[in-house]
Amino acid sequence: MKLQSIFIPSFAIPACALFVGTIGALPAGAATLEFNRDVRPILAENCFQCHGPDSASRKGDLRLDKRDAAVEAGAIVPGDPKASELVSRIYTSDADDVMPPAEAHKDLKPAQREVLKRWIAEGAEYQPHWSFIAPQRPAVPPVKQAAWVRNPIDRFILAKLEQAGLQPAPEADRHTLVRRLSLDLTGLPPDPKLVAEFVADSAPDAYEKLVDRLLATPQWGEHRARYWLDVARYGDTHGIHIDNFREMWSYRDWVISALNRNMPFDQFTIEQLAGDLLPGATLDQKIGSGFNRCNITTSEGGAIAEEYLVLYDRDRTETTSQVWLGLTTGCAVCHDHKFDPISQKEFYSLAAFFNNTTQAGMDGNVKDTPPIIIVPQPADRTNWESLVKQESETRTQLAARRQAAQPDFDKWLAQDKRANPAELLPADRLQLQVSLSDAKDHALSCMLDGKPETITIAADPKWDAGHVAAKAWKSEKGNPLAVKQAGDFEKNQGFSCGAWVKLPKGGMTGAVVARMDDKAGHRGWDLWIEGGRLSAHLIHNWPKDAMQMTAKTPVKPGGWHHLFATYDGSGHAGAIKLYVDGELQQAKAGVNALKNTI
């Protein structure tokens, strides 16, 4: 039989798990009591409210959740129930001394009193939280009906049945077995053909072969992934406010694939918590770290981005604690944990790891809030990786060519003496050239796609009052010079735009040249003045899918300057270059969230 490392987290214990007996009601002669299993539930229900970790509600300065404190106070004398005040108080008939007191409205049953008494007699050993106890393989218990046993697990089940005076149920028929197994391993009823084949298989390992067949199906990983995705708080929507669709299915499929491939649990852990930080991280490892992006997000008006970044960080820290530590650290957000050895400092030390993210506080109500990665369909993966490699190689070649050609270009530029820059423009690729030298009668002559055109300007009484003065267009709000046929570029299409501009004063803001659709998230591009500085936008949907670069040095007002912007068509940071009077400007990205989509 093929062995599969099936891990079932504590949060996914099957509902059909067998439990015989009642807490606090173990029969005489049973195995040694365990504090976490048998005793802690009794104390937590009946005693900890007044004698537990909460100092504000503690009575009599007595703590029963700590062994040393209980022993020091005389409430427990390990090995001697008669000398233990706890035993005396739970058995007394004196209404003034009995514990729990009547006003607590707690009903401590006789069997529970016996458990506490027996526990003290056995030494009153405490245990830490179960997640701090290393698992140990228990000894296989002896049984009377040894012939019934087929594997070690059977011995544990039979021992409990015999202890309770019960007999094992008869073995189920084959139709029932295959149905149970299929539902357990895949979450689905079996295919009729599978049922027929199993019923007809008389081989002694027929059941084991059936297990192997079901473990080899994709449905095995899908079924187990449901439990993991629940605690990973996976969802296909943002979870807050408008709760729009979120494109997270690639992480879901990663979990399913990891389970179907029987990925070792340590690797399963590493790739989810920090797969993107691994040296030379693969696409799959980056997808695995999507565990950290499953938290609920918002873009609600009035929400404070910094506050929500803190909430996202806290969510990641608490979820990691619940999933991998098996406990909640949430109490330590405000103070040292009262029940578990987690300090507030330790919580925020762990939170610091999850605070290293470039995720924005607002999700923009979009399906793919940056940062994102492109995940091609499995059938396209090989071709995609080849194209990415080819793009990188081509860019390297272009950079080398540019560097090699620079000396020749500089030499040519130094020798060129032409006074009219317009003569240098490549007319064969020029979309629009507007000169105001012959503006008259509400009309302008221009070159549009290499052909002469006349632009008619709407009649305006201010035309003769200076809109065209000294061979220049004087811009005023609400009266732009519009050439609607020009400048319709795609995101992957490089282009350049420039103009001679005279700013009357410093600190001005507005468009010099723009082609934008204000009703569609300002989709388009522009050459812009931002607080007196040259700027340019490239927008698919402002501001969640857009790029803006702004020069660091303001344009000097009161004189004519040649303002120019180029875009190389790559969509990457630095794709936009800004020039003032031919000098490349140092610039910074005001917005850099342009998606890698066309």
| CA of residue 420 relative to chain centroid, distance | 56
For 578-587, which contacts have Cβ atoms below 8 Å and span 24 or more sequence positions?
578/534, 578/535, 578/536, 578/549, 578/550, 578/551, 579/498, 580/534, 580/551, 580/553, 580/555, 585/534, 585/551, 585/552, 585/553, 586/551, 586/552, 586/553, 587/549, 587/550, 587/551, 587/552
pLDDT values of the chain reduced to their tens digit, one per residue, 598 residues: 333 333 333 333 333 333 333 334 444 445 689 999 999 999 999 999 999 988 888 999 999 999 999 999 999 999 999 999 999 999 999 999 999 999 999 989 999 999 999 999 999 999 998 888 998 999 999 999 999 999 999 999 999 999 999 999 998 999 999 999 999 999 999 999 999 999 999 999 999 999 999 999 999 999 999 999 999 999 999 998 889 999 999 999 999 999 999 999 999 999 999 999 999 999 999 999 999 999 999 999 899 999 999 999 999 999 999 999 888 899 999 998 888 889 999 999 999 999 988 889 999 999 998 888 999 998 999 999 899 899 999 999 999 999 999 999 888 888 877 666 666 666 666 667 776 655 555 666 666 666 666 666 554 544 443 444 445 566 666 666 666 667 778 888 888 888 888 898 998 998 888 888 888 888 888 888 999 999 998 888 898 888 888 999 999 998 889 999 999 888 876 889 999 988 999 988 888 877 755 4
* 47 touches 60 (CB < 8 A): no
Claim: this prediction has a pTM higher than 0.75: no
**How many of the other CB atoms lie within 10 Å of CB of 479?**
15
The radius of gyration of the chain from alpha carbons, rounded to an integer in Å, stands at: 37
The CA distance from 380 to 393, in Å, is: 20
Tokens standing for 267?
A: 């690797």
| Dihedral angle over CA of 153, 155, 157, 160, nearest 10 | -150
What is d(CA 100, CA 109) in angstroms, rounded to the nearest whole number? 11
d(CA 325, CA 9): 11
For residue 371, whether the previous peptide bond is cis, meaning omega lies within 30 degrees of 0, is yes
Using omega within 30 degrees of 0 as the cis cutoff, is the peptide bond preceding 370 cis?
no
CB-based burial, 369-405: b 16+ in 10 Å, e otherwise: bbeeeebeeeeeeeeeeeeeeeeeeeeeeeeeeeeee
Q: Reduced to 3 DSSP states, what percent helix, strand and coil does the chain have, rounded to the nearest 5?
A: 40, 15, 45
